[in-house]
Amino acid sequence: MDRRTLAAMIDHTLLRPEATAEDVLALCEEATDLGVAAVCVSPSQLPIIGGLGVGIGIATVIGFPSGAHQPAVKAHEAEVAVDAGATELDMVVNLGLVRSGAWAALVDDIDAVRLAAPAPVVLKVIIESAALDDEEVVECCRAAESAGADYVKTSTGFHPAGGASPGAVALMASVVGGRLGIKASGGIRDAATARTMVDAGATRLGCSASRAILSEV
């Protein structure tokens, strides 16, 4: 995989709570220089003002990082984010519903955001795969597809259980086939790991160390 192809799969990410507007501007300028797919910032950093090249998506997070929000709150957050210029939303599922096996309620949780932000807004559903068993991962992927999501995503990068793993990516890919994209996120800090995730089935990568990764390609 060449550098340009890998760059076009990356969501260049800055979700540190202490990030400033100046940090976001630097992120956007770097994203433009690298030729990534999108930037991903906290909702409070929207709208993006300056520094971002044409064709680079603007992603933000919904229900982040716990996912333990009422669906109506997530839906409102999604509406506000889209009004502020977001073209992609990475929402966190309610893990309490997952652990309880409340799959219909989980579909409703995701569907609330999808209805609030219909296509062409891109919806990625974060399932925290490292905190789940295989059956839970499978059911989360099915719920995301049922609710009309565009991607399933491994991790927030903030959960103590950890981030992306090749096994989780491969399992997620086996469930959604080529119908949904797969975003691997959390702990991807070098080109070897990025390639491993792509080989496992990832079609998008969430990275904060994008320049370092691409410098190795």
Q: Treating both helix axes as pointing N-terminal to C-terminal, what angle do 103-116 and 71-83 enclose, rounded to 10 degrees?
A: 20
Residue written as tokens 């995730």? 197
Q: What is the pLDDT of residue 177?
A: 87
Mean pLDDT of the chain: 97
The residues annotated as belonging to the active site are 90, 153, 183
Task: Give the model's pLDDT for residue 200.
Answer: 98
Q: What is the mean pLDDT of residues 14-32?
A: 97
The domains found in the chain, sorted by start residue, are: 3-215 (3.20.20.70)
- Whether 181 has a pLDDT exceeding 90, the answer reads yes
pTM beyond 0.95, yes or no: yes
Partners of residue 88 on adjacent β-strands: 59, 122
Structure-token pair, residue 102: 């409340």
> For 69-117, what is each residue's pLDDT tens digit?
999 999 999 999 999 999 999 999 999 999 999 999 999 999 999 999 9
Contact 164, 199 (CB under 8 A): no
What pLDDT score was predicted for residue 50? 85
Q: Which residue reads 């597809």 in tokens? A: 145
For the beta carbon of residue 100, count every other beta carbon within 10 angstroms.
Answer: 11
Taking every pair of Cα atoms in the chain, the longest distance, rounded to a whole number of angstroms, is 45
